[in-house]
């Protein structure tokens, strides 16, 4: 078991390193333009959602995007409505990470690492090295997921731990609660997604349990934004609160129809449980946006009014 724990730690660290490399490689091309793009947003919700989605896909961190949004609202560059539109898009953009970790990594991981060496050695220009960092990040992410998944196999030898995971997951409310707490502690829904993909592929938890834990990670990831909002103005703090309320409302709305939600995922997804989990993550965020979009300004006003009433 100690060897498995070391492999688990190595896999998680490799995953974190991959995310860091990927962000750095993408930021060399897009990072300087991120804040400028956000500043030039029009008040149209669809524009904010699109920009939030694309920027989050590029930065591979919804937390980073929402923290930027809190800062922009705090400085008065954009208002809370524009900030909320971007946050909705950020929730959708972060689903890209779920699909990255859902790939079968036995071939893609080493291939991405080889491509990173090729770009670094063959192209000395800045753009070539940026591309090398992107492929290096992808390779580390994919290999990190592979190592994490294989390292989790030792859990099968501890029935009590498996029983707790299954019980928490089978009762959606407790699964959401566990996912929220776990993600809030490590402040990374991407790592939670990687771990869940490993668990569900190893057969240690079923899809129903993994989806309930993943829904909780959508709430737990708001912790970073809330922390960023502590030192902000009232508008900045309210923007951070909107992030939490939006995700919380989405999860609460899904819980009563959770069984049907899982059935839909199983129907529209391939047999691979990793892809099913990624599809569940995407469908949940997409449904949340579709439901809130027609009355997003009223939603912000409602939360603002309730907050002032409290």
Q: Write 171-178 long-range contacts (CB < 8 A, 24+).
A: 171/212, 172/212, 172/215, 172/255, 172/258, 173/255, 174/212, 175/209, 175/211, 175/212, 175/213, 175/215, 175/216, 176/212, 176/213, 176/215, 176/216, 176/219, 176/251, 176/255, 177/216, 178/213, 178/216
Token pair for residue 207? 């899809």
- pLDDT, averaged in runs of 10, over the chain (310 residues): 72 72 62 57 74 76 73 76 88 77 60 69 62 73 64 56 66 86 72 76 82 88 75 78 89 91 88 85 89 87 66
233 touches 300 (CB < 8 A): no
Residue 228's closest CA among 121, 96, 89, 83? Answer: 83
pLDDT score, position 261: 92
pLDDT score, position 309: 40
136 touches 121 (CB < 8 A): no
265 touches 279 (CB < 8 A): yes
pLDDT score, position 5: 72
pLDDT score, position 310: 42
pLDDT score, position 222: 83
214 touches 196 (CB < 8 A): yes
SS3 content of the chain, % helix, strand, coil (to 5): 90, 0, 10
Look up tokens 């919700």; give the residue. Answer: 45
22 touches 165 (CB < 8 A): no
Q: Write 157-165 long-range contacts (CB < 8 A, 24+).
A: 157/1, 162/204, 162/205, 165/199, 165/204, 165/205, 165/209
């Amino acid at each position: 078991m100690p060897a498995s724990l070391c492999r688990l730690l190595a896999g998680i660290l490799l995953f974190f390193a991959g995310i860091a490399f990927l962000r750095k490689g993408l930021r060399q091309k897009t990072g300087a333009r991120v804040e400028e793009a956000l500043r030039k947003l029009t008040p149209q919700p669809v524009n904010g959602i699109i920009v939030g989605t694309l920027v989050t896909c590029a930065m591979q961190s919804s937390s980073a995007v929402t923290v930027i949004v809190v800062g922009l609202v705090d400085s008065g560059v954009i208002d809370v409505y524009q900030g909320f539109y971007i946050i909705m898009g950020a929730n959708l953009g972060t689903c890209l990470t779920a699909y990255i970790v859902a790939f079968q990594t036995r071939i893609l991981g080493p291939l991405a690492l080889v491509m990173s060496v090729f770009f670094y050695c063959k192209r000395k220009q800045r753009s070539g090295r940026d591309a090398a960092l992107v492929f290096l990040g992808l390779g580390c992410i994919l290999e990190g997921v592979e190592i994490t998944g294989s390292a989790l196999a030792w859990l099968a030898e501890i029935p009590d731990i498996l029983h707790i995971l299954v019980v928490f997951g089978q009762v959606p409310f407790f699964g959401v609660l566990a996912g929220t707490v776990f993600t809030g502690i490590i402040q990374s829904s991407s790592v939670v997604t990687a771990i869940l993909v490993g668990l569900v592929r190893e057969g240690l938890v079923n899809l129903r349990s993994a989806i309930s834990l993943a829904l909780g990670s959508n709430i737990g990831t708001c912790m970073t934004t809330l922390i960023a909002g502590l030192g902000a103005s009232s508008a900045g703090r309210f923007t951070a609160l909107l992030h939490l309320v939006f995700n919380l409302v989405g999860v609460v709305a899904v819980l009563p129809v959770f069984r049907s939600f899982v059935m839909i995922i199983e129907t529209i997804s391939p047999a691979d449980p990793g892809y099913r989990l990624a599809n569940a993550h995407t469908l949940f965020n997409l449904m949340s946006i579709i439901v809130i979009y027609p009355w997003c300004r009223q939603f912000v006003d409602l939360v603002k009014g309730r907050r002032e009433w409290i």
